[in-house]
Amino acid sequence: MRGKNAILNIISSFGLQIITITCGFIIPKMIIVNYGSNVNGLITSITQFLKYIVLLEVGFGPVVKSILYKPIANQDKYKIQEILKASEKFFRIIAYIFMAYIVVLCIILPMIVLNEFDTLFTISLIIIIAISTFAEYFLGMTYKLYIQAEQKTYIISNIQLITLILNTICTIALIYSGMNIQIVKLATAFIFVLRPILQMIYVKKKYNIDLKNVKDDYNIKQKWYGLAQHIAYIVYNNTDVVILTVFTNIVEVSVYSIYMLVVSSIKNIVMSFSSGIDAIFGNMIAKRRTREFK
């Protein structure tokens, strides 16, 4: 079963990266042609600024996955639900903090790009683009981690693939219909909100998980263990666009983002071959399959 899951995880992840690369070149090009390079740059900057919210995770996600391996291996449903309840509580707090962060961003970012965009235009895009991220933390992050711990990353990849294709089709149709960029990104936001909802539905139906009546007093003691690595990873991956936004202009950000599509695409393709492997190792360790693990 582990081998089958590993193959499915790798194939689905690889397929997702190919579709992501394809859509990643189509949509920015259409935005640049129809709305201008500066609008594409603004969208890139907003997206990058919003990604800094993951700093608040403080490495919590990988820790949750690691402590789920043993109860999953032992089929200890009560323990699983306790961990998931604690995780849900944590990520919902992040979601509320994220709302406050959006307010701050709505004050600061329009000032940075004031010479190029109207304040209300920038604020509306920030709020619209933030919708799917808020939904991910408030509804789906806990269930996403559980699916990964169950060695079924291919489920997440398939959901992402479907919503990505749907978003590309919808975006093309709306742009050709002459809709403004706010309507286009709002459609994108609602499509991507489907991701956490579908993940939640899958876990509840497949594993009969119900967190409503579970006590939320479970303490995840290891939650600070991944802090240093997490911060280093976020800074490494998200500093470039922020620096360009502050010290150059939005058009430069747009040009940079297009070139970086190639680099990020190559990186993601390489990483797809290790998709879901950590959960398989975790399962072996939890079951004390030392020989298989070595």
Each residue's pLDDT tens digit in the chain (294 positions)? 666 777 888 888 888 888 888 888 899 999 999 999 999 999 988 988 888 777 777 678 888 888 899 999 888 998 999 999 999 998 998 899 999 999 999 999 999 887 888 899 999 999 999 999 999 999 889 999 999 999 899 999 999 999 999 999 999 999 999 999 999 999 999 999 999 999 999 999 999 998 888 887 787 777 677 767 777 777 777 788 888 888 888 888 888 888 888 888 888 788 777 766 777 788 888 888 888 888
Please give the pLDDT value at position 58.
64
Please give the pLDDT value at position 96.
92
CA 61, 62, 68 angle in degrees (round to 5)? 95
Best CA proximity match to 111, nearest among 55, 180, 49: 49
Please give the pLDDT value at position 266.
85
Please give the pLDDT value at position 102.
94
Please give the pLDDT value at position 82.
92
Q: 254-262 — which CB contacts under 8 Å span 24+ positions?
A: 254/28, 254/32, 254/37, 254/38, 254/40, 254/41, 254/44, 255/37, 255/41, 257/28, 257/40, 257/41, 257/44, 258/28, 261/21, 261/24, 261/25, 261/28
Q: By residue range, what is the domain housing residue 180?
A: 2-290
Q: 198-206 — which CB contacts under 8 Å span 24+ positions?
A: 198/159, 199/140, 199/143, 199/144, 199/147, 199/155, 199/156, 199/159, 200/139, 200/140, 200/143, 202/143, 202/147, 202/155, 202/159, 203/143, 203/146, 203/147
Please give the pLDDT value at position 261.
83
Torsion angle of the four alpha carbons 42, 48, 50, 54, in this order, in degrees rounded to the nearest 10: 180
CB count, 10 Å around CB of 78? 9
CB count, 10 Å around CB of 287? 16
Please give the pLDDT value at position 1.
63
Please give the pLDDT value at position 160.
93
CA dist 225 and 202 (Å) reads: 29
Structure tokens at 253: 């950000």
Please give the pLDDT value at position 276.
67
Please give the pLDDT value at position 263.
86
Which residues fall within 8 angstroms of residue 284, CB to CB, at 6 or more apart?
A: 2, 290, 292, 293
Which residues fall within 8 angstroms of residue 213, CB to CB, at 6 or more apart?
A: none
Structural domain count of the chain? 1
CA dist 191 and 3 (Å) reads: 32
Contact 40, 28 (CB under 8 A): yes
